[in-house]
């Protein structure tokens, strides 16, 4: 997304300080799971790469466990990409079930997710989800359950399509993060503010949009990324890459999920004073941009999403050496 929103010195976030304030230490006394347990809800017949990119990025950054809840058709493909992911083939699309079975199948999906939900530190909703009506209906119920359990959510891709058409899923939920690109942001502005995108007063409009959805946090992707929870706004202008291969938004959603979980852990211990959701968004944005820049330096025009993922760990090490 290209944006003419300006990010003057007063808006630019101090991403280095944020990294240092929320990154957990690597200590031998810690056990599996303490560095983050992330779940991605997405993946259907047509789209298997997006949930993989999001889930594997979370692991590459430092989460201990990464789950994917996807359709039965997508599961074998996603499993073949990496044995590191825990894949749950529980979602269904309309074409594979009869109308009279939809109610019972939906109940089974929710019952299965309920067994896991309290274990997760953050949920990523949308990568490769598709727009099948029955599938979206099941995911709506998953999101409602996540809210009941106070699990933070990062919503991207088709998850944003779902939310734009049903704002009640996130309205008034401060643990929700929306990560819209140009077109997704435009649809949100039209839906919530009943207006067109206005980049001349872009920061004010972003604040109004976040406030209008009840205090969710919005990470507006662009030449500079802008983040707002309806009360404050900041920018991340770290140089990224001119190569715009598909899948970078999926890396971002997985990255934000990990940093979000770490920031909330710090907030629970009273170690940070700023909104931890804002901190997680800034850190996720800055790391993706640095990794994309590093990958482009190596691969130039042939840079692919996988190349960026492979640079996540090295980028984080340069920012905060172990």
What residues form the annotated binding site for ATP? 221-225, 240-249
Residue 156 has pLDDT above 70, yes or no: yes
pLDDT tens readout for residues 59-95: 999 999 999 999 999 999 999 999 999 999 999 999 8
Report yes or no: 230 and 215 within 8 Å, Cβ to Cβ.
Answer: yes
Domain regions of the chain by residue span = 32-319
Report yes or no: 205 and 197 within 8 Å, Cβ to Cβ.
Answer: yes
What residues form the annotated binding site? 128, 181-187, 221-225, 240-250
Paired strand residues for 69? 41, 88
CATH architecture for the domain at 32-319? 3-Layer(aba) Sandwich (3.40)
pLDDT tens readout for residues 88-133: 999 999 988 888 999 999 999 999 999 999 999 999 999 999 999 9
- E strand segments, 78-133: 86-91, 122-125
pLDDT of residue 10: 65
pTM: 0.94
pLDDT tens readout for residues 196-212: 999 888 999 999 999 99
Going by C-alpha positions, the residue among 227, 256, 243, 235 that lies closest to residue 294 is 243
Confidence grade of residue 6 (pLDDT, cut at 50, 70, 90): very low
pLDDT tens readout for residues 224-259: 999 999 999 999 999 999 998 999 999 999 999 999
Paired strand residues for 39? 67, 123
What residues form the annotated binding site for (6S)-NADPHX? 128, 181-187, 250
Confidence grade of residue 34 (pLDDT, cut at 50, 70, 90): confident
Residue 1 has pLDDT above 50, yes or no: no
Residue 261 has pLDDT above 80, yes or no: yes
pLDDT of residue 4: 37
């Amino acid at each position: 997304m290209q944006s003419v929103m300006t990010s003057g010195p007063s808006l630019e976030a101090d991403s280095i300080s944020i990294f240092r304030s929320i990154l957990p230490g690597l200590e031998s006394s810690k056990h599996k799971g303490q560095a983050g347990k992330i779940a991605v809800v997405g993946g259907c017949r047509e789209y298997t790469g997006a949930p993989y990119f999001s889930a594997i990025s979370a692991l590459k950054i430092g989460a201990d466990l990464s789950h994917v809840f996807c359709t039965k058709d997508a599961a074998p493909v996603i499993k073949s990409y990496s044995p590191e992911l825990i894949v749950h083939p529980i979602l269904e699309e309309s074409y594979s079930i009869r109308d009279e079975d939809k109610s019972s199948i939906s109940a089974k999906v929710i019952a299965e997710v309920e067994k896991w939900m309290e274990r997760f530190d953050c949920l990523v909703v949308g990568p490769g989800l598709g727009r099948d009506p029955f599938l979206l209906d099941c995911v709506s119920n998953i999101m409602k359950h996540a809210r009941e359990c106070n699990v933070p959510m990062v919503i991207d891709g088709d998850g944003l399509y779902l939310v734009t058409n049903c704002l009640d899923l996130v309205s008034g939920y401060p643990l929700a993060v929306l990560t819209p690109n140009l077109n997704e942001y435009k649809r949100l502005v039209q839906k919530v503010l009943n207006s067109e995108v206005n980049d001349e007063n872009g920061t004010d409009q972003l604040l109004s949009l976040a406030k209008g959805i009840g205090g969710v946090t919005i990470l507006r992707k662009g030449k500079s990324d802008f983040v707002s929870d309806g009360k404050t706004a900041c920018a991340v202008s770290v140089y990224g890459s001119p190569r715009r291969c598909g899948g970078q938004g999926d890396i971002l959603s997985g990255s934000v999920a990990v940093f979000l979980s770490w920031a909330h852990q710090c907030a629970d211990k009273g170690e940070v004073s700023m909104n931890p959701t804002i901190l997680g968004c800034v850190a996720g944005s800055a790391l993706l941009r640095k990794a994309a820049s590093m990958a482009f330096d190596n691969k130039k025009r042939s840079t692919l999403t996988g190349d960026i993922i492979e640079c996540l760990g090295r980028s984080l090490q340069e920012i905060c050496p172990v």
